[in-house]
Structure 1
Amino acid sequence: MTTHLYFEIQAESPDRARHFYGELFGWAFTRVEGLPVAYWRIDTGGMQGGLLQRPAATPPDECGTNAFTCSFEVDDIHASAERIASLGGQVALPIFAIPGTCWQGYFIDPEGNTFGLFQVDEQAGD
């Protein structure tokens, strides 16, 4: 695994979130088409990120952490997914292509925490 990280923010209202983070940090957002959820790349001027339409209900108040999801770069996302399963983890969202960028997948660790993995591949989705 390399040291590259990618953060994502889930939002009930992506318009509201884009306005908030754009005004707060000056981040720019670019819509990405062809994904299984509404998605925008975030240009922070540094670390890479994304914003997506929350795919499930917002956790209730006082339920625990409602946070960003971090994704880790791996050399072989399919081998990593198999390893996750063998260690007691689960698939949260099956591996999919982000066209021209990478393969992405989301998983749940044995403690119930969601995290992402990505494998850089400029041919993804072709």
Structure 2
Amino acid sequence: MDNTVTWFEVATDDPDGAQRFYGGLFGWSIASSATDVMDYRMITYPGGESPSGGIFNSKGEFPGHAVFHVKVADVEAACAQAESLGGKVVSKVIGDGAGTDFAYLHDTSGNLFGVFHPRS
């Protein structure tokens, strides 16, 4: 299924920015499950029945991180949309025939993630 991965976590000192970026790029629903101790936001994919990931407010106490790969319908379109939302394409491989198109991107906090689409 396009625009999905297994459980993952994004740690950032800008959780609102991460929520806008990933929600806008992939249409993910993001809901707060914050407690007095932690600002944690649960991510649910479009059509998903339960959360599959989360955004953790690191408050600058941990390095930002997000390393996961999302299957998309069109890698070029995902790259263009990411850039329009303030992200950056780090590298991409687009080709013909069998194989996989993929790209590594940075989100608006500088976290690395990947998008891919099988060509065959």
Pick the TM interval, shorter chain: 0.3 to 0.5
Query: Normalising by the residue count of structure 1, what TM-score does the alignment of the two structures yield?
Result: 0.43
Higher strand share: 1
Query: Normalising by the residue count of structure 2, what TM-score does the alignment of the two structures yield?
Result: 0.45
